[in-house]
Amino acid sequence: MIRTILHYPDPRLRQKGLPIARVTPELERLIDDMAETMYAAPGVGLAATQIGEQHRLFLIDIAAEDEPSNLIVFINPEITVKEGEQCGPEGCLSFPGVTEDVKRAAKITVRAMDRKGATFEIEADGLLAVAVQHENDHLDGVLMIDRMGVLKKRIVTRKMQKRNASSNNDDA
Ligand code: NI
């Protein structure tokens, strides 16, 4: 089932995700809903908190359009190592139409549980490292706008206000 993605400044985007004790059938259904929602958007990442579900869970698929899909499910993720710096354009399904440069670590190590409940660890750089850091921020109620300078923040806030005002009728 495709779920509604919350848009900034919905206050629910500021709620933190809570640790998941174990994988249940309900959680698997939520993961399926999130995958469907993310692919339909379309997006390369989606955190549970973006659809109003307070869990430490996000999905990422950065496969290019002409590649087979490669969905990675992160349950209770923890970024254990951050190295270096990179800065590049990011988008977010909670900020439709917004693309801005954000500073991130260049290389990370992340540990998480997959949808079978097994622990895994990934070392990532480039786009995957950016996506993991972006989605992991969502679980702490941190949004890309918090990682921008004052001026950019103001521009993005205004853009979102305008968008929300004009889509009040057709976006329900
Ligand atoms: Ni996002």
Question: Active site includes 121?
Answer: no
Q: Cα(160) to centroid of ligand 1, in Å?
A: 14
pLDDT of residue 172: 43
Short-list 40, 66, 35, 64, CA closest to 126: 64
Q: Cα(138) to centroid of ligand 1, in Å?
A: 7
Q: Cα(143) to centroid of ligand 1, in Å?
A: 7
Q: Judge: domain 11-171, CATH 3.90.45.10.
A: yes
Please name the residues in contact with 30: beta carbons below 8 A apart, sequence gap of 6 or more: 48, 53, 55, 57
pTM of the model: 0.95
What are the pLDDT tens digits along the chain (172 aa)? 999 999 999 999 999 999 999 999 999 999 999 999 999 999 999 999 999 999 999 999 999 889 999 999 999 999 999 999 999 999 999 999 999 999 999 999 999 999 999 999 999 999 999 999 999 999 999 999 999 999 999 999 999 999 988 876 555 4
pLDDT of residue 167: 77
Q: Cα(116) to centroid of ligand 1, in Å?
A: 25
Pinpoint the alpha helices (H) of the chain. 25-40, 126-139, 150-166
